[in-house]
Amino acid sequence: MKGAIVVSRPGGPEVLEWVDRDPGLPGAGEVLVRHTAVGLNFIDVYHRTGLYPQPLPFTPGAEAAGVVEAVGEGVDDLSAGDRVAYTSNGPIGSYCEARVLPRRRLVRLPETIPDDVAAAVMLKGATVEYLVRRTYPVQAGDNVLLTAAAGGVGLIACQWLSAIGANVIGAVGSEEKADLARANGCTHTILYRDESITDRVREITDGAMCRVAYDSVGAATFEPCLASLAPRGMMVTFGNASGPVPPIAPLALAQQGSVFLTRPRLADYYATPRETADGIGALFEMIASGAVSPHIGARHALREVQEAHRHLEARQTVGSTILVP
């Protein structure tokens, strides 16, 4: 038997319960993976609370790294002892000590990437990859607005955008987080609880405003981010840590200067094996080059996941948080 976290009803962190269960054996095209590190992401909160409903009961978690324990029939390119990792382009369920997964979901980890780094970067790094390479292909010199710039996705995005040569303007909630964002490549920071995002963007860019705004905070920052765009800029809303964004009239996009609005999902950018290989390949290249180095701000035992969720929801985390089985 192996341990797992199970949610039987939507609710607060208290609904995350530890149970013992048999992960089973791999069938044809499947692999049994023993987890060594599990990533914590805000989407896990959305699943737990029911904002993104899941069939009950379920095990949360979108990413992890681990070691192959056994392979099923037809899996001839992995064997017991191989190090692997995966991200969320498939069923959730990583909050556990071991699980069976389809081979197609797994990537072999290079020797240069430790397990904890992989768990910290798979979902967050893949998110940054599709946001800055494919949702809006950022170019050198672009003014880019990024909220939650000291979060798990934010710090990776700061590094990646800095490597491209973008002018990164990061909105953060405290001076401590501003220092961390700047240390990871953020060119300018805005304390969005104390300052006007739009006024500061106008000041920083001498009125040119931003080609793209990446917003994961949601209700508290969406409107000022939208107002910070240059004509024909793109508003990318990919999270709602402060609450869902209210409905917006299409005319508002025209009034801002014929701007674009998108709400992307990783599953739609990692929809095929080819897209997944290309995206993860680009991510691993950025890590290998040293351009991206995930910041692991906290580690919790998997059994302590309730505490980890409380810290995450209170926005007391910086960088990535790792759950250790």
What are the φ/ψ torsions at residue 40 (nearest 5 degrees)?
A: -105, 130
Identify whether residues 77 and 156 lie together within a single domain.
no
Domain identity same for 320 and 205: no
Query: Are residue 84 and residue 115 in the same domain, yes or no?
Result: yes
Total domains present in the chain? 2
Q: Span 282-288, mean pLDDT? A: 94
Share of the chain above pLDDT 70, in %: 100
Q: 295 falls in which pLDDT band (50, 70, 90)? A: confident
Q: Check whether residue 22 and residue 110 sit in a common domain.
A: yes
What's the pLDDT at 292? Answer: 95
Query: Measuring CA to CA, which residue among 291, 274, 278, 260 is closest to residue 185?
Result: 291
Residue 318's pLDDT band, with cuts at 50, 70 and 90, is confident
pLDDT per position as a tens digit, 92-129: 999 999 999 999 899 999 998 999 999 999 999 999 99
Residue 18: what are its φ and ψ, rounded to 5°? Answer: -85, 130
pLDDT at 88 over 80: no
* 132: in domain: no
Domain check: are 18 and 106 in the same one?
yes
CA–CA dist 5, 58 (Å, integer): 8
| Residue 129 in domain | no
pLDDT > 90? residue 320: no
Q: Which of 263, 290, 316 is the last residue of a domain?
A: 263
Judgement on whether residues 7 and 114 belong to the same structural domain of the protein: yes
Model pLDDT, residue 316: 84
* 130 within some domain: no
In this structure, is residue 157 part of a structural domain?
Answer: yes
Is 89's pLDDT higher than 80?
no
In 3-state terms the chain splits into helix, strand, coil percentages (rounded to 5) of 35, 30, 40
CATH classification of the domain holding 158: 3.40.50.720
Residues 255 and 300 in one domain: no
Per-residue pLDDT, 55: 96
Residue 279 domain flag: yes
pLDDT at res. 242: 87
* Cis status of the peptide bond prior to 57, with omega within 30 of 0: yes
Give domain status of residue 134, yes or no.
no
Residue 90 included in any domain: yes
Encode pLDDT of 137-150 as tens digits.
999 999 999 999 99
Could you tell me the pLDDT band of residue 319, with boundaries at 50, 70 and 90? confident
Mean pLDDT throughout 259-281? 93
111 and 146: one domain? no
Of 245, 263, 281, the residue that ends a domain is 263
Last residue of a domain, one of 240, 263, 286: 263
Total-model pTM: 0.87
Q: What is the pLDDT of residues 2-26, one digit of tens each?
A: 999 999 999 999 999 999 999 999 9
The CATH number that applies at residue 22 is 3.90.180.10
Whether residues 224 and 253 fall in one domain: yes
In a domain, 221, yes or no: yes
Domain that includes residue 245, residue range = 140-263
Give the CA diameter of the chain: 61
Same domain, 115 and 146: no
Verify that 162 and 52 share a domain, yes or no: no
Tell whether 117 and 161 lie within a shared domain: no
Confidence class for position 169, pLDDT limits 50, 70, 90: very high
Q: What does the alpha-carbon distance between residue 156 and residue 214 come to, in Å, rounded to a whole number?
A: 13
Query: Could you tell me the two tokens for 190?
Result: 């805005």
